[in-house]
Chains A and B, each alone.
Chain A
Amino acid sequence: MSQTITAAHSAAIDSLHVAYLAALDKGDMVAWAATFSLAPEASYFCISTENDRRGLPLALMYDDCRGRIDDRVSFVTKVWVGTYQPYRTRHFIQRLSCEAAGNNRYRVTSGFTIMMSAEGGTTAVLTSGEYRDLIEIQGDHAVFCERRAVYDADVLPRYIVFPF
């Protein structure tokens, strides 16, 4: 881990991770979107390891601007209501690396696991993977300028409603 990060910045990054997974584990899409920068170029990608490794650009979720991040909130909260089979998730993450990128920004990677519990069903692994983030410290808190969730499963076990 880089020596240049301050304890305050490290704590802010940890808090951001917690806010992100807490939002998704509550199914709170507005809180999920709130973990991203308000800058127009804020981005979220969710892509398979296979596509990522082969340099294939197609993703499962390709939100390359702030507008698309907000549109994803609408998909879940307005478009898809009443159609999908509900499931709850638990995200577990561990930070793997953190490098200063200048201007109060950090390149951070973390491993993640997502457990899913289908309504009326058992708990199973949805997938695991790696978050590759560009995080910016804004005052006393941190936001994602970019989050790239590269998931491990070559084949996902179900259709997907919530971001990873």
Chain B
Amino acid sequence: MSSQCSDNYTGKAPAVWPAKVNQIPKEVFGDEALFEEELKKIFYGDCWHVVGHFAEIPNAGDFKTFDLGRVPLLISRGKDNQVRVFFNSCTHRGNQLEVATSGNRKEFECPYHRWLFSLEGALTACPGSKEFAPDFKQENFGLMEVKSAQFMGIIFVTMGKNTPPLTEWLGEIVPPTLSTLLGGDGRLKLLGYQKVRYDSNWKGYNDNDGYHAPMLHTAFRLLNWQGGTTGFQRMTKNGHVVFEAELKAIQNNGFVNDPSLVEFKGSDPAKGSRIVQFFPATVMVKHLDIINLRFAMARSHDVTEVHYAYFAHEDDDEAMIQHRIRQSSNLLGPCGMISMEDAAIFQRIHIGNQTPGFAEFQKGVTSLSEIPMDVKQNDETGNLPRWEHYRKVMGFKREGEK
């Protein structure tokens, strides 16, 4: 038995974090007021957020809607083939402009007073404007655009005033793995979605998605499926984690009737598994022949919504596309043979974290005072630089820190 709290438990995140870098106060997962601060400092702050991929809206007029925190976004491909991200709000009285999750439009019309916007965001019609305020100018009332940038088709947005350029924010470690994860060039073809809400804090989701110890997954043992030892985890100081691992081909021992579920047919057998875990929320995975971008939305302090989007590559032949569909549907995601168990952990860990004390990181910890940047494939310390970044962004002091 251990006792870690001398004061009464409040459930509120402590202003001062422990000096030991491998301890995360569990209160950060359940503190409702903290979520409001996170919205301000992270989700609406100087940080890039993944909201989609070009392949979801391949044609002019295609759009999708998405939320950044509580802010509704409208992501549209214009007639000029440019992808733009707007606030999903009519510039007149603020009515939600587009209600569909996705679709194709010639223009966007607000039904309230029939204001009409082009796919590129210009206000093209507003009935009765002769009687509008004296300073009204139609050209000033186009849709409000959110600052966006892209990497191989991944759409990033930021509402921060001082967000660094995307290339700087991604750093040097992320792009090589991310490129391979995206099929080398990001020319992807959407296969479909699995969308789910988890009763989990967004940090608990991000902390436990991506790479973790394989012990959770009974399937690995049942399939006698061993990971290689030549992989790596690399972290950036601003909270991203990049992971690559060798996946040895499984020897079919008869556990599955259909071994194609775990067959690797792609051209990258040496490194079958690649993960990019972005700060703050989104995780991207290439596992076997699955290309899976997990667009995560922090809904509240205890709900995280994840849109698992799966892709093929534009150059795939029909057989490869079919293989990807079959593998993607049943292996990863909220009902996948492997990832259902991850999903269970997201929710169980959220319940367990409503208790005093710390989430304790152990495997790979070599120093209690230094943030580890040199981490082995199976260490759990890869998460600690992200926690350090989070602590600094949120302004939590460390014990003994002035």
Seen from chain A, the residues whose Cβ lies within 8 Å of a Cβ on chain B are 46-48, 50-51, 54, 56-68, 70-71, 74-75, 78-81, 83-85, 154-161
Contact = CB atoms under 8 A, between A and B. Distances in A.
Given A48-B193, A158-B199, A159-B196, A60 B329 contact: yes
A164 B6 CA distance: 48
Contact of A57 (B199, B258, B325, B333): B325
B341 A80 contact: yes
A65 to B, nearest CB: 6
B218 A80 contact: yes
A79 B333 CA distance: 15
Contact of B344 (A48, A57, A63, A84): A84
B177 interface: no
Nearest to B257: A67
A58 B257 contact: no
A31 B261 CA distance: 23
A150 to B, nearest CB: 13
Given A58-B329, A71-B261, A159-B340, 17 more contacts: A47-B192, A48-B195, A56-B191, A57-B192, A59-B325, A60-B334, A62-B326, A63-B330, A78-B218, A78-B222, A79-B341, A80-B341, A83-B340, A84-B341, A154-B101, A155-B195, A158-B198
B368 interface: no
| Prevailing SS type, chain B contact patch | mixed
A89 to B, nearest CB: 14
B279 to A, nearest CB: 24
Contacts of B340: 75, 80, 83-84, 159-161
B197 A60 contact: no
Interface residues of B, number: 39
Contacts, number: 122
B194 A70 contact: no
B146 interface: no
Contact of B258 (A50, A68, A85): A68
Contacts of B333: 60
A157 B200 CA distance: 12
A87 to B, nearest CB: 11
Interface of B: 101-102, 190-199, 216, 218-219, 222, 255-258, 261, 305, 310, 325-326, 328-330, 333-335, 337, 340-341, 343-345, 347-348
A58 B343 contact: no
B334 A62 contact: no
A62 B330 contact: yes
A133 B218 CA distance: 33
B258 A51 contact: no
Contact of B193 (A58, A67, A74, A80): A58
Nearest to A84: B344
Contacts of B255: 74
Contacts of A81: 218
A161 B341 CA distance: 10
Contacts of B256: 67, 71, 74
Contacts of B257: 66-68, 70-71
Contact of A60 (B190, B335, B337): B335
A50 B309 CA distance: 12
A69 to B, nearest CB: 9
A61 B261 CA distance: 12
A94 B347 CA distance: 33
Contacts of A58: 191-194, 310, 325, 328-329
B335 A61 contact: yes
A50 B310 CA distance: 14
A79 B337 contact: yes
Nearest to B341: A83
Contact of B326 (A46, A51, A64, A83): A64
Contact of B197 (A47, A84, A158): A158
A50 B101 contact: yes
Nearest to B299: A155
Contacts of A64: 326
A85 B192 contact: no
Given A68-B257, A160-B335, A155 B190 contact: no
A31 B175 CA distance: 48
A54 B216 CA distance: 35
Nearest to B258: A67
Contacts of A57: 191-192, 325
A29 B337 CA distance: 15
Given A67-B257, A84-B344, A156 B196 contact: yes
B236 to A, nearest CB: 29
Contact of B348 (A48, A71, A85): A85
Contacts of B195: 48, 50, 154-156
A29 to B, nearest CB: 14
